[in-house]
């Protein structure tokens, strides 16, 4: 039965691509700076954190040498956190957001999460292309290890969309989920070593990081980009397993309650 849904999504690929493009256009249609805004938001975040942590608070971040080291570290984390939070937040609200479509036209609903993933990847590509250009400029581009970012990204996105769809379906029936997850996400950001290195945490807290899937993704990205090293695959494997579990949960929820969704919108 799920196969049926999946092939319906594949059959609608033109529609999905067209929508990703339209969504992108829409975002910048009435703005003067256009796609620049995709970059300006994370850039502002990076500037603020760099200023506060490394300049004003003069925090010593162990293991980070060099003028740009902290900023690069920050960028690596925010890049991957950004794609995760964007996808999971959009997927969480996508069924409610598109209620007007779902109520009027019969089309494969799983196109909606597919569009969310596509849009997230487009934004990620823009920011990361710029980031790579900067790395080239400051001469900090990693070597062959950079290829490791592809599986890291794949796992991050997979985890994000699986979690997002689970939350998205729940959110249709229990609107608290959306509000609640907004709060969770704030804590989650600070519980992930993005702004600070994991090594400054007390040992017991560091041990707990193992249970934070995003910590594995972000740390893998930081290892590649900052240390120019291969990431720890065992941690990523754990995230992949968590994603499998969440995907199965999402499919189960969808098959069980997908039909009732329309009545709640």
By the criterion CB under 8 A, which residues form the site for other proteins?
Answer: 12, 14-15, 18-19, 22, 26, 29-30, 100-107, 173-174, 259-260, 262-263
Per-residue tokens: 25:
């256009």
Q: How far is the CB of 15 from other proteins (least distance, A)?
A: 4
Q: How far is the CB of 35 from other proteins (least distance, A)?
A: 17
- 57 or 259, CB closer to other proteins? 259
Closest CA to 80 of 31, 19, 131, 40: 131
Q: What does the alpha-carbon distance between residue 253 and residue 217 come to, in Å, rounded to a whole number?
A: 26
Q: Left if phi > 0, otherwise alpha if psi is -120 to 50, otherwise beta: which for 139?
A: left
Q: How far is the CB of 11 from other proteins (least distance, A)?
A: 8
- 3 or 104, CB closer to other proteins? 104
- 101 or 121, CB closer to other proteins? 101
Place of tokens 């790579």: 132
Q: What does the alpha-carbon distance between residue 163 and residue 95 come to, in Å, rounded to a whole number?
A: 14
- 22 or 55, CB closer to other proteins? 22
Q: What does the alpha-carbon distance between residue 260 and residue 254 come to, in Å, rounded to a whole number?
A: 10
- 109 or 216, CB closer to other proteins? 109
Q: How far is the CB of 101 from other proteins (least distance, A)?
A: 4
Asked if residues 108 and 19 have their Cβ atoms less than 8 Å apart, the reply is no
Asked if residues 113 and 164 have their Cβ atoms less than 8 Å apart, the reply is yes
Q: How far is the CB of 175 from other proteins (least distance, A)?
A: 9
């Amino acid at each position: 039965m799920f196969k049926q849904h999946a092939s319906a999504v594949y059959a609608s690929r033109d529609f999905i691509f067209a929508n990703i493009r339209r969504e992108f256009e829409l975002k910048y249609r009435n703005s003067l700076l256009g796609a620049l805004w995709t970059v300006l938001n994370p850039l502002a975040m990076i500037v603020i954190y760099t200023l506060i942590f490394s300049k004003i608070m003069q925090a010593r971040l162990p293991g980070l040498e060099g003028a740009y080291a902290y900023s690069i570290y920050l960028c690596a984390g925010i890049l991957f956190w950004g794609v995760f939070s964007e996808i999971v937040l959009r997927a969480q609200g996508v069924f409610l957001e598109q209620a007007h479509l779902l109520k009027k036209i019969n089309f494969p609903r799983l196109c909606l999460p597919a569009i969310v993933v596509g849009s997230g990847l487009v934004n990620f590509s823009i920011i990361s292309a710029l980031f790579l250009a900067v790395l080239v400029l400051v001469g900090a581009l990693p070597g062959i290890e950079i290829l490791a970012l592809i599986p890291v990204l794949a796992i991050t996105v997979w985890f994000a969309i699986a979690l997002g769809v689970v939350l998205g379906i729940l959110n249709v029936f229990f609107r608290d989920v959306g509000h609640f997850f907004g709060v969770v996400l704030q804590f989650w950001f600070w519980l992930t070593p993005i702004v600070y290195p994991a090594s400054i945490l007390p040992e017991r807290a560091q041990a707990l990081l193992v249970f934070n899937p995003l910590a594995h993704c972000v740390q893998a990205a930081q290892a590649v980009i900052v240390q120019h090293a291969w990431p720890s695959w065992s941690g990523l494997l754990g995230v992949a397993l968590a994603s499998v579990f969440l995907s199965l949960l999402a499919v189960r929820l969808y098959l069980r309650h997908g039909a009732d969704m329309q009545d709640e919108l």
